[in-house]
Every structure is written in C-alpha cells, then in structure tokens.
C-alpha cells in the first residue's frame, strides 16, 4: 500500500487520534473519594472532527457533599460539551465548565450550603489540544523522553509549599478549612476559567491530567518512569501504585492519554468511556442521604466488653434470674396499683426506620411525579452572563519551539472566545411544569403571593388565595400607526409609541443587581421588526454585497428560509440593519417593545410559558402537529405570545443582540442621574462600553431548562463573550419619522 493511500482528506497528514484511561484512589482513612474521573472518546469510530473529552474533578474537602459535587460536575461537563452546537472546542469546553459551576452554585445557594469543585479537562480533536482548568490540578505532556508541565495551579498554597513557608499537610488542612484558598467552580457565579488553546499534539505523545493529591507526592521522574509503559491503562496503574506506597491522606486521580496516528490506533484496545445522561444534583444528594440512613440502621458488629467475657457462667445466670424476678414483681405490683398494662391511654412508642418510613410515604403518595417535584429543592437560576477567560498562556503553545504557523496564529486567538448563552438544566420531560411551579413558589416574595383569611360562621379560619397580579391591560397602539412593511428588506414592523416606561425589574421581582433598580425613562416613538431577521432576508443582504456570511449559517437551505438567522455576530447584525435602513435596538427600546408600559413579567403578561400554553419556544418544547422537534422554530410560530405592540418571539427561540453594552451598574447610574436632575432620562442609549453587547429574550437551548423562566422575562439582561452562537439572532428598529 502506498503511503498516500493512508492519508485522510486533511492535507497535513494522517488523522491523529487519542485513547485514554482513568483511575483514582482514596486517601488513607477517608470514607469517600472526593475526586472523580470520566471521559468519552468519539474518535476514531465517531464522526470526523468529533472531539475526545477527558475530565478530572476534585470536590473541595470541608464543603457540602464534595464527592457528589465532583461526580455531578464531571458528568455535566461531558454532557454539555457534546450537546453544544458550537464548532469551536475552546468555546464548548469553557461553556460546559461554566454551566456546571453555575448550577452547583445556584443549587448550593438555595440549600444555604457551600459546594466547590476543582476541574481540569482536556479536549483532543485532530491533533489539537484544548485544556480547561479551575483549581490546583495539573496537565503534563511527555514527549521525546521529556516531561512538560502545561498548566500551573491556581493556588497560593502551592507557592507557599515551594517556598517552605508551610508543609504539605498544612496546605491540605488550610484548603479544607478555607475554600477561598484554592479557586473552584460552584463557589460563585461565573467562575473564571483558564483556557489553553492551540496546543499541537503528535503521535506517541502522552498527556496526563493529575489531581493535586497526586502531584503532591510524585514528580516528573515518577511520571517519566510511568510513561515507559505501553498503554494508558498501564501508565495509570503504574502511577497509582507509586502514589499508594506513600499512604497518602488525600485522594489521588490521574487520566493518561496517548496520542496515535490513524493506523496505530487500530490495534489499541480502547475504553471509550461514556456520555452520561443529563445529571440531577438534587436527586444524587437525596439518594446518598437515603443510602446513609439505610447504612446507619444496619446491625453493627458487636463490641467486645472487657472483663464481661471473663465472668463465670453461674454469675451471668444469677444476674439473668434476678432481672426476671424484678420484671415479674413489677408486673404484679402494677396491676395491684390499678394501672392495667393494656390501658388504652398508654400508647407504645414504635421505633420507625427512617428509610422505610420514607419509602412508605412515597408508596402512599398518589402521584409519584408530584411527590418528586414536592420533595426536590428548586434550583435558583442565575443570569446568563459571560465567562471571562484569563489569558494565562499564549493562544498558541509550541512545545518543540518551532513557532506557530500563519494559520494557527490567525485562528488561535479567535478560538479562545468563550460562549455563555446556553446555561444549565436538570429538569426534563413532564417535570418542567412542576419544577417551574416550585421555582416560582420559592422565589416570589410573600408580598406578591398574598392570601386573605376569612372566618366562617362556625369560627373556623379559611385561607383563600388572592390573585397575585391584576389583569394586565393591553398597551394602546394608535390606529394611524398600524404595522408597515419596510422598503428594503420587506420585513413587517410594528409601532412602539413614545413616552415614559419602567425600565428594569421592581424590587419584588428583581433577581439581582443586573436588572435593578427599576427606573422610569422616556423613549421617542420607533418601529421594530415584528419577528427576528430570517435566513431568507439575511441572504438578500449577503447577495447585495452588504452582509458577510458564516460557514455555519444555513442561508441557502430553503427548508430554513423562515427560521431566524443565527451564527451572526453583533457587527453582522448591525451591518444588516444599516443595509435595511434601520439599526439595532438599544436595550431600553427592546425592553419597551417587549413589555409595554404596564411593567409586565413576560411579553404576553404574567402567565409562565410552558410546553402546553404555546406562548414561547422554550427548551424541550416540540410541536407534534407540525412535526417540529425541540430546537429552533420558524419565526412567528407563537402568535399568542405577542408583546403589547404586536412583536413576536421576544421570549424564547433565540437570544437577540442589542446595541447596548453590558454594564452591571448602568441602571444604578441612571437612578443617580434621575435623582440629580430631578427628571426622567430621555432615550438612554445604554452603556457605550462594557464586557460585551447585551442580549435579550432567552432561547430554546436545552441547557436553559432550569432557568428559562428567568431568561424569558422582559427585564432579563444577558451577555456573551463569544462572537456568535446557534442560539443568538437579532431584529432591527427604525426611528419614527414623517
């Protein structure tokens, strides 16, 4: 066979693949292992271009359920990574880690507990390595008999150990007592993720993902010795055997990955790992609690009583006879005293096994799903904010020192952008409505969910619920301002009248500083597209030479002509609006078009969107009648969810770009300006600089299942650090002129 016959379509040479193995051991005298290793390999059997992903997580000792948090984080990261619609590994990996951390943070905050997990991950795709890291894990590459450490620990404790200021044992103790000593996901919203992109790997390279508990006891010499083994499994076993000889007190974990070419990997016995189902943190914790209770009820081994086993048999027999005599005497005297043993007023107290009691309660519940929803603690969602990346190393890493190629230099930095438009979720199927109900009950203030107490003639108090909100009247639209069709792109536009309106959420419904304080502002009248810009309309702009295309767009597929255009950057959106004689809306204009002047929660009113009421395209929504499965829908598919001015799809389906930048303190500055001037602010443009452009409206991304009720609110503000996404589109506005 000729050499060229073994080449793939990649002109750079044979396809490069990877195979890995993972292992972990518990520290001495530890009841549970706080670390978890998991991976999934889609190459070479999978589709071309699919990544292999390896994840090592480390639950921080001293936090709440560290072993469950680590297990959940690893599964969630792999699940989100392979469910992502993005095509850039750096984006997918950063977003997956962010989603996992935000869900842990929201859940633990709702429980008033602290959970924290260190993470080190690696994605290998066609010879390229991307690493995502938070905490004190390490990644090594063994090449040509040398060991290279790729990432540094994010821990001040390790630096103190190297300087001799503290011992290794003191470092572990301090980390357990102070969770802020080592960075971790779950301790705060949007933890900073270190992303290392553009790393080339070659056949025969060995990658090692190591926990801090492992690297604290072995060095590069031990790693190099282990790398002499033939397979990843043998490498892992060698390393763990070396560590176990030290009788370490901390857990130790390692994932070994060997790089192969397309030919050599065919002879490798591989362990592909698994893509887990959508994990449920609340369910995992409840299951562990039940197992612990069951274990505590099991008979314990007898404890040998010192001295008792040496008593003569006749002494023990005498004691038993005396006890029996006392019992008979008590029985007789109790009857004479007039206290019958079978007295109906005397009730025996039964010892009930807590596990059996719980199972009995479940069996007696008529609706199992209702019990599950009642028993589960709702996850308080977080806002869809961006994930900043700390540029800890250059976007291109060349171990051999050859330097980046021209293509790698141009693409490496772009690939380090990080998405955050698709937050997390753990509720699926029929539980969506129930989870949403629980979520609402736990977050709406008592003042909103007020009840009235009535006293019946018999004197019995009866609680009767009052409406939580008064019916919302429609915002009047002048008849002379009926919808129009714009001249250039032929898009239907609806009129938004001028005047004052409330920007932001009231104190009762605010979820944080992002959408508060609520301020009254004035806007001039304007027109806004009735729907998001479609693929068909964007194609017209592209063919006119005024808009650029992306390889990920589906502009020329007639089946998607009426779907919202996605994978469009904010600059591409602005270019389209300029071509059509319009502009992107400010976030204040977008919000008024969505909610009107009556301060409503959603564009249509106060009713929450569900899979049944057809108000918005939310995660996992499908329409069997039209054959549409979960995901994006054609624009205008939900007429019952229109805003007060007649705009459609302003909640769900896709997020929408605005012309304003995200500044968390912008509303506060508006409030200060109002107080200083004594008048409302006119036509606020939004922050002119900030982290990234504001996006609005939420989407149908399945990772938003837990948070869609918040994201689809008219006041919700989000942002992303990536340039485009499968779930971001836009619509345009036009100033009202004669």
CATH code, 149: 3.60.40.10
At residue 393 the predicted structure's pLDDT band, cuts being 50, 70 and 90, is: very low
The yes-or-no verdict on residue 444 having pLDDT over 60 is no
Q: Kindly state whether residues 401 and 486 are assigned to the same domain.
A: no
Task: Provide the pLDDT for residue 273.
Answer: 60
CATH number for the domain spanning 680: value is: 3.90.1580.10
d(C-alpha 514, C-alpha 386), whole Å: 13
Q: Are residues 189 and 102 in the same domain?
A: yes
521 with 391, same domain?
A: no
For residues 10 and 15, give the distance between their C-alpha atoms in angstroms, rounded to a whole number. Answer: 7
CA pair distance 532, 653, nearest whole angstrom: 10
Q: Are residues 550 and 676 in the same domain?
A: yes
CB 193 within 8 A of CB 121: no
Q: Classify residue 560 by its DSSP letter.
A: G
| Same domain for 384 and 524 | no
Q: Please tell me the predicted confidence (pLDDT) of residue 289.
A: 63
Angle between helices 354-364 and 368-375 (to 10 degrees): 130
Tell me what the mean pLDDT of segment 130-152 comes to: 89
Q: What is the pLDDT of residue 357?
A: 32
Residue 564 has pLDDT above 70, yes or no: yes
Cβ atoms of 80 and 96 closer than 8 Å: yes
> Where among 416, 431, 461 does a domain terminate?
416
407 and 544 share a domain? no
Report d(CA 479, CA 645) in Å as an integer: 12
Domain that holds residue 60: 3-274+380-416
78-106 pLDDT, tens digit per residue, is: 988 888 877 788 888 999 999 899 889 88
pTM: 0.46
Interstrand relation of 728-729 and 461-465 (parallel, antiparallel or unpaired): unpaired
With cut-offs at 50, 70 and 90, classify the pLDDT of residue 16. confident
Residue 86 lies in a domain: yes
Least confident of 215-219, 313-317, 467-471, 702-706: 467-471
Q: Is residue 314 situated within a structural domain?
A: no
420 pLDDT band (50/70/90 cuts)?
very low
Report if residue 542 sits inside a domain. yes
695 plus 606 within the same structural domain: yes
Which pLDDT belongs to residue 460?
A: 35
- Angle in degrees, 0-180, between the axes of helices 354-364 and 281-297, rounded to the nearest 10: 130
Confidence of residue 471 (pLDDT cuts 50, 70, 90): very low
Question: DSSP assignment of 127-182, as one string?
Answer: TEEEEEEESS-EEEEEETTEEEE------HHHHHHHHTSS-HHHHHHHHHH-GGGS
Task: Give one DSSP letter per residue of 634-655, joined into a string.
Answer: -TT--GGG--TTS----SBSSE
- Average pLDDT across the chain, whole number: 73
Q: How many C-beta atoms surround the C-beta of residue 174 within 10 A?
A: 16
Query: Cα–chain-centroid distance for residue 369?
Result: 24
Pick the last residue of a domain from 393, 416, 439. 416
| Same domain, yes or no: 409 and 523 | no
581 with 661, same domain? yes
In a domain, 492, yes or no: yes
- According to DSSP, residue 217 is labeled T
The pLDDT of residue 443 is above 70: no
Q: How many CB atoms lie within 10 A of CB 723?
A: 19
Determine, yes or no, domain membership for 432: no
- The pLDDT assigned to 317 comes to 59
502 confidence band (pLDDT: 50, 70, 90):
very high
Is there a single domain that holds both residue 85 and residue 207?
Answer: yes
For the stretch 275-332, pLDDT in tens is 667 777 777 777 666 555 544 444 444 433 334 444 454 555 566 666 666 555 554 4
Residue 158: pLDDT band (50, 70, 90) is low
The reply to whether 396 and 521 lie within a common domain is no
Domain count, the chain: 2
Query: Does some domain include residue 303?
Result: no
User: Same domain, yes or no, for 612 and 715?
Assistant: yes
In a domain, 453, yes or no: no
What is the mean predicted confidence (pLDDT) over 670-679?
89
Domain-embedded: residue 104: yes
């Amino acid at each position: 066979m000729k050499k060229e016959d073994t080449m793939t379509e990649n002109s750079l040479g044979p396809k490069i693949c990877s195979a890995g193995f993972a292992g972990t051991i518990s520290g001495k005298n530890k009841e549970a292992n706080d670390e978890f290793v998991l991976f999934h390999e889609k190459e070479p059997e999978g589709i071309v271009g699919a990544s292999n992903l390896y994840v090592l997580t480390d639950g921080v000792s001293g936090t709440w359920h560290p072993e469950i948090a680590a297990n959940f984080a690893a599964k969630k990261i792999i699940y989100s990574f392979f469910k992502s619609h993005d095509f850039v590994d750096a984006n997918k990996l950063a977003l997956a880690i962010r989603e996992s951390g935000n869900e842990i943070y929201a859940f633990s905050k709702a429980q008033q507990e602290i959970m924290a997990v260190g993470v080190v991950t690696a994605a290998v795709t066609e010879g390229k390595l991307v690493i995502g890291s938070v905490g004190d894990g390490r990644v090594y590459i063994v090449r040509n008999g040398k060991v290279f450490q790729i990432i540094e620990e994010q821990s001040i404790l390790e630096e103190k150990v190297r300087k001799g200021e503290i011992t290794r044992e003191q470092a572990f103790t301090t980390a357990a007592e102070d969770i802020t000593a080592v960075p971790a996901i779950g301790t705060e919203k949007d933890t900073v993720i270190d992303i290392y992109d553009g790393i080339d790997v070659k056949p025969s390279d060995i990658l090692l993902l190591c926990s801090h508990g492992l690297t604290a006891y072995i060095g590069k010499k031990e790693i190099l010795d282990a790398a002499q083994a033939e397979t990843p499994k043998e490498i892992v076993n060698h390393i763990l055997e070396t560590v176990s000889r030290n009788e370490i007190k901390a857990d130790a974990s390692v994932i070994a990955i060997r790089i192969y070419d397309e030919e050599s990997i065919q002879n490798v016995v591989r362990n592909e790992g698994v893509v887990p189902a959508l994990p449920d943190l609340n369910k995992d914790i409840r299951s562990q609690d039940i197992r612990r209770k069951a274990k505590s009820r099991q008979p314990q081994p007898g404890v040998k009583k010192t001295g008792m086993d040496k008593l003569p048999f006749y002494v023990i027999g005498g004691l038993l006879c005396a006890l029996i005599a006392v019992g008979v005497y008590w029985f007789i005297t109790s009857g004479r005293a007039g206290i019958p043993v079978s007295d109906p007023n005397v009730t025996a107290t039964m010892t009930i096994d807590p596990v059996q009691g719980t199972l009995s309660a479940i069996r007696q519940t008529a609706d199992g799903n209702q019990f599950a929803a009642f028993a589960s603690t709702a996850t308080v969602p977080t806002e869809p904010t961006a994930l900043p990346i700390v540029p800890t190393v250059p976007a291109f890493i060349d171990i051999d020192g050859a330097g980046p190629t021209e293509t790698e230099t141009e693409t490496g930095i772009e690939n380090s952008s990080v998405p955050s438009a698709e937050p997390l979720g753990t509720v699926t199927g029929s539980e969506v409505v129930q989870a949403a109900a629980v979520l609402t009950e736990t977050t709406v203030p008592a003042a909103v969910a007020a009840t009235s107490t009535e006293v019946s003639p018999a004197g019995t108090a009866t609680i009767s619920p009052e409406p939580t909100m008064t019916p919302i009247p429609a915002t009047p639209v002048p008849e002379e301002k009926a919808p129009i069709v714009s001249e250039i792109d032929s898009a239907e536009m609806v009129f938004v009248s001028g005047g004052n309106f409330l920007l932001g959420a009231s104190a009762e419904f605010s979820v944080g500083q992002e959408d508060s304080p609520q301020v009254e502002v004035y806007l001039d009248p304007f027109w806004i597209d009735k729907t998001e810009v479609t693929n068909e309309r964007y194609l017209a702009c592209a063919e006119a030479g005024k808009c650029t295309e992306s390889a990920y767009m589906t502009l020329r597929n007639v089946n998607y002509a009426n779907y919202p255009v996605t994978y469009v950057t904010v600059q591409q959106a602005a270019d389209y609006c300029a071509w059509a004689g319009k502009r992107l809306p400010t976030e204040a204009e977008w919000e008024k078009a969505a909610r009107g002047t009556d301060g409503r929660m959603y564009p249509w009113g106060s009713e929450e969107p569900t899979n049944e009421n057809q108000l918005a395209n939310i995660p996992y929504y499908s329409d069997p009648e039209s054959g549409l499965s979960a995901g994006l829908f054609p624009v205008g598919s939900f007429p019952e969810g229109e805003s007060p001015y007649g705009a459609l799809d302003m909640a769900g389906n896709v997020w929408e770009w605005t012309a304003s930048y995200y500044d968390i303190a912008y509303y506060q500055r508006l409030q200060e300006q109002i107080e200083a001037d004594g008048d409302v602010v006119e036509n606020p443009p939004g922050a002119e600089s900030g982290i990234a452009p504001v996006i609005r409206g939420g989407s149908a991304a399945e990772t938003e299942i837990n948070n869609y009720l918040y994201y689809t609110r008219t006041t919700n503000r989000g942002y992303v650090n990536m340039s485009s996404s499968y779930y971001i589109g836009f619509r345009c506005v036009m100033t009202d002129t004669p």
